[in-house]
């Protein structure tokens, strides 16, 4: 396979101020750090309390955390989750806002797998900041591939993984999620919109995830990546997809508490 399926390349140059509906009782903090290869990474922390479950959110290609998750983060906060999210080195203006990390890179020749460095560092940050609740990874498109890899390599530090439209193919050489499904022992939910299932590579990946014992879900209607949870992007009912996500998150927190 010589292409990367589903990486968003849309660039919509719209600056949107990110706002949270219940910010009056929420500690929202900007932060930054440097990766081992000297990339200056920017992100946001939304803290309810340190002992609550923590979701680490990562965006798709061409995007950024504030744009892609501007309606999803408030939903998760209302359900009691802490959130840490970053702008990865591969991204842009899709869904509004802009990628703060990309803006600091003069010449961006990095591949998708290179962003694994900041995704792994974000997990380190969660511990450094004192979050002691359950930890759940959430990836979209190429970042879904990277969180699957992280779930294998640092499984003892993670309690569950959500992978929305995990990308695969030649641009993911070295971090292709298909290579890791058989090794993941954590709860994993792989989600795809129905429109993507007509592609042979996607259908094969979906069956691979299912046959190796992981949870799968086809969103109808739906669109690529985490946006399958956003009504304005799907232009249809997203309640069933949210129900599946909520039930998975609840089960991860409950199962982890019983271990």
Residue 15, pLDDT above cutoff 60: no
Q: Is 5 within the bounds of a domain?
A: no
Q: Is 2 within the bounds of a domain?
A: no
Q: Is 15 within the bounds of a domain?
A: no
pLDDT band at 10 (very low <50, low <70, confident <90, very high): very low
N- to C-terminal Cα separation, the chain: 40
Q: Is 212 within the bounds of a domain?
A: yes
The count of domains in the chain is 1
pLDDT of residue 110: 97
Q: Are 225 and 199 in contact (CB under 8 A)?
A: no
Q: Is 6 within the bounds of a domain?
A: no
Q: pTM for the complete prediction?
A: 0.88
pLDDT band at 96 (very low <50, low <70, confident <90, very high): confident
Bigger pLDDT: 190 vs 256: 190
Segment 176-235, tens digit of pLDDT: 999 999 999 999 999 999 999 999 999 999 999 999 999 999 999 999 999 999 999 999
Q: Is 178 within the bounds of a domain?
A: yes
**Strand order through the sheet with 215-219:** 27-34, 40-47, 82-87, 54-57, 135-140, 160-164, 188-193, 215-219
Segment 106-134, tens digit of pLDDT: 999 999 999 999 999 999 999 999 999 99
Q: How far apart are CA 184 and CA 38, in angstroms?
A: 30
Range of the domain at 150: 23-258
pLDDT of residue 258: 57
User: Considering the chain, what is the average pLDDT of its residues?
Assistant: 90
Q: Is 166 within the bounds of a domain?
A: yes
Based on DSSP, count helices (H) and strands (E) in the chain, helices before strands: 7, 8
pLDDT of residue 256: 61
Q: Is 95 within the bounds of a domain?
A: yes
pLDDT of residue 232: 95
CATH of the domain at 111: 3.40.50.1820
pLDDT of residue 28: 74
pLDDT band at 16 (very low <50, low <70, confident <90, very high): very low
């Amino acid at each position: 396979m010589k292409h990367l399926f589903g990486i968003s390349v849309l660039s919509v140059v719209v600056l949107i101020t990110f706002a949270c509906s219940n910010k009056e009782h929420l500690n929202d903090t900007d932060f930054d750090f440097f990766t081992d290869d000297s990339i200056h990474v920017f992100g946001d922390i939304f803290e309810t309390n340190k002992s609550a479950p923590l979701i680490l959110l990562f965006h798709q290609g061409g995007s950024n955390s504030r744009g892609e998750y501007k309606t999803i983060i408030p939903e998760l906060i209302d359900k009691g989750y802490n959130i840490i999210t970053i702008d990865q080195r591969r991204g842009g203006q899709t869904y509004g806002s802009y990628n703060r990390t990309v803006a600091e890179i003069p010449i961006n020749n990095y591949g998708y797998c290179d962003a694994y460095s900041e995704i792994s560092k974000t997990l380190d940050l969660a511990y450094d900041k004192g979050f002691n609740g359950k930890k759940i990874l959430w990836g979209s498109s190429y970042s879904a591939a990277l969180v699957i890899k992280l779930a294998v390599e640092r499984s003892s530090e993670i309690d569950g993984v959500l992978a929305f439209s995990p990308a695969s193919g030649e641009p993911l050489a070295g971090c292709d999620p298909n290579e890791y499904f058989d090794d993941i022992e954590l709860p994993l939910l792989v989600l795809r919109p129905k429109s993507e299932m007509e592609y042979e590579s996607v259908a094969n990946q979906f069956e691979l995830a299912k046959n190796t014992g992981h949870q799968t879900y086809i969103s109808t209607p739906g669109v690529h990546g985490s946006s399958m949870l956003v009504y304005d992007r799907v232009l249809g009912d997203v309640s069933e997809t949210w129900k599946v996500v909520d039930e998975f998150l609840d089960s991860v927190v409950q199962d982890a508490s019983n271990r």
